[in-house]
Amino acid sequence: MMGEIVGAGLISHVPTIMLSKEIRYELNEGKEISLVPGFHRIRKEVLDVLKPDVVIVLDTHWGTLVEYVVTSHARRAGKYTSEELPRGMCQVPYDLKGDPDLANAMAEEVNKEGVRCSAIDDPYLPIHYPTTNLAHYLEQGEAWISVSCAMTAGAEENLAVGRGIANAIAKSGKKVVILASGSMSHTFYPFNELHLHESSDPKHIFSDGAREADYERLAWFKQGDHASVINNMDDYYQYKPEGRFAHYLMMVGALGSDKCKAIGRQFSDYENSVGTSQVHVWFDRPEDGWS
């Protein structure tokens, strides 16, 4: 039986989602940030319906240098405290089943695409909050695999990694969901100004140009026009998309690159977090396939 990618999403992992409801409301002018109910909707309306065997997280905080890395553990379990924000992400428990066979196949297929990639099952390999925060809301017993973002890579390498991942999935016989865990434009305000821009209102996005560039790409997502997103990456880089948008590019590479026509559905508002953009966008598998 052929394996298949049954769905994919560009999903926010912003630390605010891990704060208590009271603190979230305090920071956001007495209102809930839409990302939190968006997570609950994704679990109920998407994942509970698709019932994937495996969830692959493309993790923007896992920056590798000379190669891409795939987690190939049978299980990752422990407690996570963030070095970045230990008050809000402190001793967060995680217990994630893995899929060593698929992880090793992913690394093998990515290497066949001419991109260096290794599968690593070292029990001391760190985990990062683009994985743990999503798992906190979305994990329900599926196997979870994380993939790094190579800091030195460009769009072509990221797209190639996606192709390799898709080839491994096709040979696996499994139903897989891909989560591109990261934001769109991603510039923070200076330290002394951060507290003035904690509301989720998009007016606080770092610049008008960044906000408009994000809106343009959200419109392309809604049209299923991934070719425009890919072909205009050089323009978008000036607005510093998180991880150089590696998470999205790997995801769309797995979905057919510029031939992908999957229409994006927002499961949250487009929101601010101290200058950076945050949004959940889900891509359903088209009836005639991803490309």
7-66, pLDDT tens digit by residue?
Answer: 999 999 999 999 999 999 998 889 999 999 999 999 999 999 999 999 999 999 999 999
Q: What does the alpha-carbon distance between residue 200 and residue 235 come to, in Å, rounded to a whole number?
A: 25
Per-residue pLDDT band at 291 (split at 50, 70, 90): confident
CATH code of residue 32: 3.40.830.10
Residue holding tokens 């299980």? 75
Task: Read off the tokens for 195.
Answer: 């507290």
Q: Is residue 223 part of a domain?
A: yes
Q: How many CA atoms lie within 13 A of 77 on its CB side?
A: 5
Q: Is residue 290 part of a domain?
A: no
- Does the predicted model carry a pTM greater than 0.85? yes
Q: Please give the residue range of the domain that contains residue 41.
A: 4-284
Instruction: Specify the DSSP element, H or E, that contains 161.
Output: helix 155-172
| DSSP 8-state symbol, 87 | T
Q: Is residue 291 part of a domain?
A: no
pLDDT (0 to 100) of residue 1: 76
How many domains, in total, are found in the chain? 1
Task: Indicate if the pLDDT at residue 272 is higher than 90.
Answer: yes
Burial class (CB in 10 A: 0-12, 13-18, 19+), 2: exposed
* Three-state DSSP state, 162: helix
Q: Is residue 31 part of a domain?
A: yes
Asked if residue 187 lies in contact with residue 256, where contact means CB atoms within 8 angstroms, the answer is no
Residue 68 β-bridge partners: 117
